Structures are given as C-alpha cells and as structure tokens.
C-alpha cells in the first residue's frame, strides 16, 4: 500500500505519460462514449434495430453515466420526438426552424429544455430501462457519475486528467447535440430525398462513429447499419458486427436491399410491393440513372450561359419540392422550360413519386398506375428513362 501511494503525484497522478499519451487516452475514452451513444442509445434503445446482451447493455449504460450523466429515457424520448416531428416547430433541435447557430452552439441547452418536458418523456420514453439501478442511481444521481469520472481521471493522470475530463464533458454536447443535430440537417450530401433536411457528413466518420451518415439513417431509421454506398464507412456497424461474433449483439433490422429479376418483363403485385418497400432507393436510382445522365447530355450541347444555369440546377432536380424556397423553384422552372428532355424526365420523376402518396388507393389501382408509368416511360425516346422502366419491372420481394 505504501508503494502504491508513493507512486502517486499530486500533479501527475499515478500514470505519467508523454503529451501524445494523454492525447491518445482522451481520444480512446471519448471514442468509447461515442460508441455507447450510437450503439446503445441510438440503434438499440431508440430504434430497436438490434438486441444487446445484458452484459454489453449494462456496460454502455454505466459508461454513459460516468462520462455524460445522460439519462437513457430522456435521450431516447428526445430523439424519437425528433423523428416524429422532424423540421417542424415541435422538433427539439431542428436548424431549419431554430437556426444553425442555435443548434450548433447551444444544442445541449435545447436538449436540457426538452428533457424537462414531461409530455415528451411520457409519449416517447417508453420501453427504456426502469430497473432498480436506473431509478435509484443512474437517473437519480446523474451528476454523481461524472463526478466519479473526474476523481478517476485526476487520480490516474493528475492535472492532465482534469483536462481529459473536460474534453469528455464537452464531447457529446458538441459532436452529438451540436454537430450531428445541426450540421447533419444543414450541410452535406443526400443519398435519399427524405421529407426532412437530413444530410450525410462522411468526413467526420472516425469522430462520431457512423452518426455522420444522418441522411441514410433518416431514410431507414430502424436499420442497424447506417452506410449505404460502397465508399461509406459506418464505424458503429463495425462494432456491432464484432459484437455479433462475440454473441453480445443480434441484428434485428436492416435497410431493404432491392432484388431485381432481370428476366421479368411485366409489372405485377410482387413488383408493386417491392417498389413500395424500396421506394427511397428507387428514387435515388432514378436520380443517378436518369436525371443526371440527361443533365450531362444537355450540358454538353448547351452554350456557356445555359451551362451555368444547368450547373445550378443539378441539386434542385433531385430535391424534394417541399424543401425548396421560391427562388430555387424559379431557377428550376426556368431550366425545365428551356430543356425539353430534362423536363420530360423530371415530370416522370414527379409521376413516379406521386404513386407513393396514393396510400388510400386500392392495390389494384396502384398496380395499374405503376404499369401505366412503365409503359409511358418506355414509349419515350429517352434511352436512360426506357432502361430504367425496364429495370423497374424486375423489382421483386421473392429471392427465388
């Protein structure tokens, strides 16, 4: 015992490290916290996309208590409300309604304000931990956990440990409450035209463990895997796969993957169901395989002034009209009026999109609408549109 205390220094703690050692320690500790948020709070608790072994589940819950003081029920309820009320005044943290500066720099204040809303907790906080530890320790003494973490950091690393603790305390409020909720609905690229303004900010991957693929998540909220394109990397999914090997996790839900029967030449009820299930993927494919090739062709044939207008229209062609302002609509309408082929494929896009909105229509009428769409698309002289319509016929839910 005497040897143990003799190894302690009031300014360096028990472990004296070079500067890069403290930096690495801080990154490892905050990384574990990010993994706890994305795997436990987000994918497991909020969306039930996977199951966790009680050992893994409790480790994450304990770690979050130590490093954030967040209450599971509060985080889950606020996140579920965000999805239910996305980009409306009732959204707890939408930069579209509250401003990017407010969400980015005051995200934690918005979180605390919503956590105090008992209505939100009652409506959206169901099926979260409610055992003895949660009621008597984690929820009741949220500050105790981060206080214990401060003592541990100081004892291990001295004054450097206090700095590490400070980084731990601001890591989630900044990256999760500020960056993901703010920039993730403001700036970046979109794979799917969801009704909200969610974006992917892939360059932040290592720091936020897959949460940067925010548009993918909003497109398929109940999927345990956030990556969609071949070059996207979801670090959280990597940890889930590792936990599967260790039998600590079981994946319940993934985003649907289109199954296409290339020999199929007709649109039947199976085609209709498959297209509906994969409708976001269908519209994303339409943008890549029809709209953008036609746009490139128009660009090659246009003069300098028109090329400028076409360049500005590239993103507008695939954007949800509900998310456009009047100025953007005017730019888009001007270009479509000038370029007939582009106008044709854009109108077919709107026609295909309109089929999804006929939820009150019978299956027979929906089937007829999809059949007519494919027939009319194949009757055009636009090769990219014709090829897409033929491929759409091959969509199927049957894998055999």
Task: Band the pLDDT of 119: cuts 50, 70, 90.
Answer: very high
Work out the angle between the directed axes of helices 19-35 and 159-172 (0-180°, nearest 10): 30
Longest dimension (CA), the chain: 89
Is the separation of the CB atoms in 341 and 299 below 8 Å? no
**Comparing C-alpha atoms, which of 30, 27, 7 is closest to residue 19?**
27
CA distances from 112 to 29, 67, 260, 312 (A): 24, 17, 47, 40
Handedness of CA 150, 68, 71, 114 (dihedral sign): positive
pLDDT beyond 60 at 122: yes
pLDDT beyond 70 at 313: yes
pLDDT tens for 123-161 read: 999 999 999 999 999 999 999 999 999 999 999 999 999
pLDDT beyond 90 at 7: no
Residue 316's pLDDT is what? 86
Residue 268's pLDDT is what? 93
Has this prediction a pTM greater than 0.75?
A: yes
Q: Give the DSSP letter string of 128-142.
A: S--SHHIIIIITTTH
CA distance 256 to 253: 9
**What b/e sequence results for 368-380 when a residue is b if at least 16 CB atoms lie within 10 Å of its CB, and e otherwise?**
ebbbebbeebeee
Q: What is the DSSP letter of 204?
A: G
Residue 330's pLDDT is what? 87
Average pLDDT, the chain: 91
Q: Where are the domains of the chain?
A: 2-251, 260-396
pLDDT tens for 314-330 read: 888 888 777 788 888 88
CA distance 334 to 322: 18
Work out the angle between the directed axes of helices 142-157 and 54-67 (0-180°, nearest 10): 80
């Amino acid at each position: 015992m005497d040897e143990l205390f003799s190894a302690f220094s009031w300014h360096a703690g028990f472990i004296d490290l070079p500067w890069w050692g403290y930096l690495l320690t801080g990154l490892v500790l905050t990384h574990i916290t990010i993994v706890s948020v994305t795997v436990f709070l987000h994918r497991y608790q909020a969306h039930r996309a996977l199951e966790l072994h009680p050992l893994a589940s409790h480790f994450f819950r304990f770690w979050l208590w130590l490093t954030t003081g967040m209450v599971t029920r509060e985080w889950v309820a606020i996140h579920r409300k965000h999805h239910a009320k996305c980009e409306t005044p009732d959204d707890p943290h939408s930069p579209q309604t509250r401003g990017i500066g407010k969400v980015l720099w005051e995200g934690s204040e918005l979180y605390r304000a919503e956590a105090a809303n008992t209505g939100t907790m009652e409506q959206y906080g169901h099926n979260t931990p409610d055992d003895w530890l949660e009621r008597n320790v984690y929820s009741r003494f949220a500050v105790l956990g981060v206080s214990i973490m401060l003592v541990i950091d100081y004892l291990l690393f001295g004054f450097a440990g206090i700095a590490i603790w400070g980084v731990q305390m601001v890591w989630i409020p900044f990256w999760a409450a500020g960056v993901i909720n703010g920039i993730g609905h403001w700036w970046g690229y979109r794979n799917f035209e969801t009704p909200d303004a969610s974006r992917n900010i892939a360059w932040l991957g290592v720091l936020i463990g897959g949460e940067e693929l925010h548009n993918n998540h909003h497109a398929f909220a109940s999927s345990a895997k956030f990556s969609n394109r071949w070059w996207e990397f979801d670090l959280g999914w990597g940890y889930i796969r590792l936990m599967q090997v260790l039998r600590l996790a079981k994946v319940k839900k993934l985003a649907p993957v289109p199954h296409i029967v290339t020999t199929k030449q007709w649109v039947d009820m199976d085609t209709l169901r498959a297209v509906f299930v994969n409708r976001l993927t269908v519209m994303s494919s339409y943008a890549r395989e029809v709209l953008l090739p036609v746009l490139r062709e128009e660009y090659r044939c246009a003069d300098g002034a028109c090329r400028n207008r076409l360049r500005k229209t590239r993103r507008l062609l695939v954007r949800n009209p509900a998310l456009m302002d009047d100025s953007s609509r005017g730019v888009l309408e001007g270009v479509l009026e000038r370029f007939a082929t582009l106008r044709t494929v854009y109108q077919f896009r709107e026609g295909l999109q309109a089929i999804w909105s006929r939820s009150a229509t019978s299956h027979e009428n929906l089937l007829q609408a999809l059949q007519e769409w494919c027939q009319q698309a194949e009757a055009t002289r636009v090769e990219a549109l014709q090829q897409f319509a033929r491929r759409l016929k091959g969509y199927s839910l049957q894998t055999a």
